[in-house]
Amino acid sequence: MSAKSYLLFLIANFFSFCPLFSQTNFYATDTIQVIEITFSQSNWDYMLDTAKHGSEGYLMASKIKINGVSFDSVGVKYKGFSSYDSSRVKNPLHIKLDYYYKTANYNGVEDIKLSNGFSDPSSVREVLGYEILRNYMDAPQSNFAKVYINGIYYGVYSNSEDIDKKFLTKKFYSSENSFFKCNPANLVSGQIPNLLYFGADSANYYSRYEIKSKIKWKDIIDLCDTLCNKSTHIDSILDVDRALWMLAFNNVLVNLDSYTGAFSQNYYLYRDDNRRFVPIIWDLNMCFGGFQNTGSGQLSIAGMKQMTPLLHSTNGARPLIMNLLANVTYKKMYINHMRTITSEFLSNSKYLSRAQTLQALIDSSVKSETHSLYSYSQFQSSLTTNIGVIPGIASLMGARDTFLRNTTQFQQAAPVIANIATAPSVINLNDTIWIACKATNQDFVKVGWRDQPFKRFRSIQMMDDGKHHDGIAGDSVYGANIIGSSNQIQYYIYAENVNAGIFSPARAEHEFYSVNVNVITPTAGQIVFNEFLSLNVNDAINEFGMHEDWIELYNTTGMPLNVYGLYLTDDTLFPARFALPNKVIQPNGYLTIWADGKTSTTSYIHSNFSLSSAGEKIVLSNGKGVIVDSVTYGLQLQDTSYGRCPNGTGGFSKQKQTTFHSQNSCGINVDEYFLPTVYIKSYPNPADSRVTIVTDNKSPMNVIVINSIGEIVYSNEIRRQLTMNVETFPSGLYMIHCGLAKNKILIQH
């Protein structure tokens, strides 16, 4: 049965929602995606080359199939620097599904980034590298894709998640802050993104960094200034722990096409809501020694095996390494992170077993390639055998493990942390939580903690004085107390002596322990969504004088209720996306949240997401699966809110007028939507390649087809009958909305 036979269309006279076909992870590691690109232009390769050497614009493909699902009018371009060559048949690709004024995605993915295996005869470097990296810091998902162009097989590519606003929101709970891609405009210019300070003129940074957000060059200038000239304050503007993990990963895995290497590139910087830049590694196709230049010279394979863990620690051209490692505590943390990666993946050969598994997955697909950059025999031997200057992954990592474990830095005796415990066993909101541990061979012990997953960790020293639930003084049991200020406290412990440091858990701050706190939160029906506006053009303004989306909550009870411990989200995969603050809603009172991605203040609440006017689901919950209220809506109109009628208790409908932070305006308005009295049907249903809509209405009507995530995939005018070509629609359920001219559908309230 073809994919088209799974298209099911539902006539809708009111905006509603239906589930799409089962969603799968486009980046599941042990899968191979199939991507088929069709160009109508016979000289498509020449056109892509021309675009690459010009403005790097996209060439429109007439059709792309992803695992059998078709999309038309998709943008495609070549990407990469060293990995791209106009004389090369197999070049890296960037596919943009939401191209040419279209809204399209495959399982939520709009941008597809495909690498061609340059400098990687094993074909697994990128996928394996990201898999290891994700254990220690937020990083893209990555797997494999078989790519066909105009029916010809071009081989296996690595398929890596784009670092875009969706990625930022998922990992850092916001996406509108300063965001930079740290890749130079021209690699041979010497103007690299090494975070050196070049004065306050932003023009000095344009060729070194690519800004991906609204113009906020001052933020990265401040970062460079602080790192280079005020490094004792670097923790206030940089997530130091994440930076140390990045540098540790680069060194252990000899990932030199990075900040650690010659061009100091292939990472992003995003300034989160804590006003600290977070580094994100990108482009791992040349890790495991696929690139050999440190910036201080080209390393031989023997040199890579014995590359010092303190590379660039005295190099003023790498201030992120030099100035962080000049801090004795940061240096100990960095070495500990290196030891963790080495012990968890190198010493036990876990990296090798994963590399072998991944190679087995793609073996037959690589074997059938005719445009590969390497031969099949080189692929087979690439884990253990050097291919030219590219080391065999196992031969490099095996020797690197032996070398690192025998360095002076790795052989320093670190403290030992054991017997971690918390008290009391039952903790209520604002109770004191005692954290204790046994620590030996230490000079200092601290606990890092936070009460929300999007906040930075704060730290306090743990004491062995008999006064902090630590037993008796001097017994090597350390204790500290924190306040149970939210429904979950996340924490880790760090100890150090004069020579070394250690974390528990070992992957902190990326991983941590947690303590659950009993928080009495409103139950279902007590606090409800009462009204929202998702397309604010001329309605209420926030404190910045801007027209933004807003959400109104309502207390249906006769008692004051605190919303602390409740969360808002528009993505059910991330129920704790936005934590509501400590705010009381009075009996039969309102609380309004600006859904605009801005930072909340004491007077105004701003969620870290905005509403989609195309339709979506918003949820109010305790963040752990208990739903307090939710509402699903479809396409919305400008300055038209959607609210409960009667106020606080009824079902949702279009409002006669918006009623920001006040009782809803119920009743019939001639400008609202009403149920049509006309007869409408569609056939065939389920559909094949075409769907015909028939109505007995004599007046022209507009037809809108909306998929299950609220996106408009088709619109047109109908006079009695209309036939749609749905051949390129992904399999799933769709809603057909019909209405009078000017998109009016009559709905009786």
- Sign of CA pseudo-dihedral 284, 285, 290, 292: negative
Contacts (Cβ under 8 Å, ≥6 apart) of 672: 654, 656, 747, 749
What's the pLDDT tens digit per position in 427-478? 998 999 999 999 999 999 999 999 988 899 999 999 999 999 999 999 999 9
Taking the C-alpha atoms of residue 716 and residue 615, their distance in angstroms, rounded to an integer, is 19
- Pairing relationship of beta strands 513-516 and 501-504 according to DSSP bridges: unpaired
Of residues 340 and 216, more confidently modeled: 340
What's the pLDDT tens digit per position in 277-302? 999 999 999 999 999 999 989 999 99
Q: How confident is the model at residue 184 (pLDDT cuts 50, 70, 90)?
A: very high
Query: Any idea which residue has 């089962």 for tokens?
Result: 22
pLDDT at 555: 95
Taking the C-alpha atoms of residue 147 and residue 478, their distance in angstroms, rounded to an integer, is 57
Confidence check: pLDDT of 494 > 60:
yes
Task: Tell me which DSSP letter residue 342 carries.
Answer: I
Distances from the Cα of 382 to the Cα of 120, 267, 342, 521, angstroms: 8, 27, 21, 57
What is the CB-side half-sphere exposure of residue 2 using CA atoms within 13 A? 12
Helix/strand/coil for 722: strand
* Cα angle: 371, vertex 376, 377; to 5 degrees: 145
Taking the C-alpha atoms of residue 204 and residue 190, their distance in angstroms, rounded to an integer, is 13
Q: Identify the CA nearest to 470 among candidates 434, 433, 441.
A: 434
Which value, in Å, is the radius of gyration of the alpha carbons in the chain?
Answer: 29
| H or E element in which residue 126 lies | helix 125-133
Of residues 11 and 593, more confidently modeled: 593
pLDDT at 686: 66
pLDDT at 187: 79
Confidence check: pLDDT of 710 > 60:
no
pLDDT at 654: 87
Beta strands in 465-623 (DSSP E): 477-483, 488-496, 501-504, 513-516, 527-533, 549-555, 561-562, 567-569, 578-579, 584-585, 590-595, 606-607, 616-621
φ, ψ for residue 325, nearest 5 deg: -75, -10
φ, ψ for residue 512, nearest 5 deg: -160, 165
- Section 477-494 average pLDDT: 95
pLDDT at 354: 98
φ, ψ for residue 352, nearest 5 deg: -70, -45
Q: Are 357 and 522 in contact (CB under 8 A)?
A: no
pLDDT at 719: 66
Least confident piece of the model among 274-278, 502-506, 624-628: 624-628
Contacts (Cβ under 8 Å, ≥6 apart) of 670: none
Within 10 A of 240 (CB to CB), how many other CB atoms are there?
A: 20
| 131 residue type, one letter | E
Taking the C-alpha atoms of residue 463 and residue 362, their distance in angstroms, rounded to an integer, is 54
| CATH architecture of the domain with range 527-654 | Sandwich (2.60)
Taking the C-alpha atoms of residue 686 and residue 624, their distance in angstroms, rounded to an integer, is 37
Confidence check: pLDDT of 202 > 50:
yes
Supply the mean pLDDT for the chain: 88
pLDDT at 745: 28
pLDDT at 742: 31
φ, ψ for residue 130, nearest 5 deg: -65, -35
- Section 90-113 average pLDDT: 86
Confidence check: pLDDT of 1 > 50:
no
| 504 residue type, one letter | S
Q: How confident is the model at residue 723 (pLDDT cuts 50, 70, 90)?
A: confident
Helices vs strands, H then E, count in the chain = 11, 38
pLDDT at 74: 92
pLDDT at 409: 98
What's the pLDDT tens digit per position in 352-363? 999 999 999 999
What's the pLDDT tens digit per position in 502-545? 999 999 999 999 999 988 889 999 999 999 999 899 999 988 88
Taking the C-alpha atoms of residue 620 and residue 241, their distance in angstroms, rounded to an integer, is 32
Structure tokens at 597: 């991605």
Confidence check: pLDDT of 214 > 90:
no
Within 10 A of 559 (CB to CB), how many other CB atoms are there?
A: 8
What ranges do the domains of the chain cover? 24-160, 167-405, 416-498, 527-654
Q: Are 520 and 514 in contact (CB under 8 A)?
A: no
Least confident piece of the model among 83-92, 132-141, 425-434, 604-613: 604-613
Phi/psi-derived region of residue 349, left when phi > 0, alpha when psi is between -120 and 50, beta in every other case: left
- CATH code for the structural domain at 416-498: 2.60.40
Alpha-carbon torsion, ordered 297, 298, 299, 300, to 10 deg = -140
Confidence check: pLDDT of 748 > 50:
no
Q: Which 3-state string (H, E, C) describes 494-505?
A: EEECCCCEEEEC
Confidence check: pLDDT of 633 > 60:
yes
Q: Are 280 and 267 in contact (CB under 8 A)?
A: yes
Distances from the Cα of 281 to the Cα of 257, 267, 393, 567, angstroms: 11, 4, 20, 30
Q: How confident is the model at residue 740 (pLDDT cuts 50, 70, 90)?
A: very low
Least confident piece of the model among 185-199, 243-257, 307-321, 715-729: 715-729
Task: Tell me which DSSP letter residue 539 carries.
Answer: S
Burial class (CB in 10 A: 0-12, 13-18, 19+), 360: exposed
Structure tokens at 379: 């692929």
Q: What percent of the chain has pLDDT over 90?
A: 67
pLDDT at 688: 63
Helix/strand/coil for 442: coil
- Sign of CA pseudo-dihedral 487, 490, 491, 492: positive
Overall residue count recorded for the chain in this entry: 749
- Section 379-408 average pLDDT: 98
Structure tokens at 745: 């559908």
pLDDT at 749: 25
Confidence check: pLDDT of 151 > 90:
yes
- Sign of CA pseudo-dihedral 630, 634, 637, 643: negative
| 499 residue type, one letter | N
What is the CB-side half-sphere exposure of residue 696 using CA atoms within 13 A? 3
Q: Is 527-654 in the same CATH topology as 416-498?
A: yes
Taking the C-alpha atoms of residue 581 and residue 601, their distance in angstroms, rounded to an integer, is 10
Q: Identify the CA nearest to 124 among candidates 326, 348, 287.
A: 287
What's the pLDDT tens digit per position in 9-24? 554 433 333 222 334 6
Structure tokens at 430: 């604002």
Taking the C-alpha atoms of residue 3 and residue 481, their distance in angstroms, rounded to an integer, is 59
Confidence check: pLDDT of 583 > 70:
yes
- Section 53-72 average pLDDT: 91
Q: Are 279 and 243 in contact (CB under 8 A)?
A: yes
Across 181-185, 306-310, 559-563, 649-653, the highest mean pLDDT is recorded for: 306-310
Q: Are 213 and 177 in contact (CB under 8 A)?
A: yes
Least confident piece of the model among 145-154, 290-299, 698-707: 698-707
Taking the C-alpha atoms of residue 249 and residue 266, their distance in angstroms, rounded to an integer, is 13
Query: Any idea which residue has 């200057």 for tokens?
Result: 389
φ, ψ for residue 707, nearest 5 deg: -80, -175
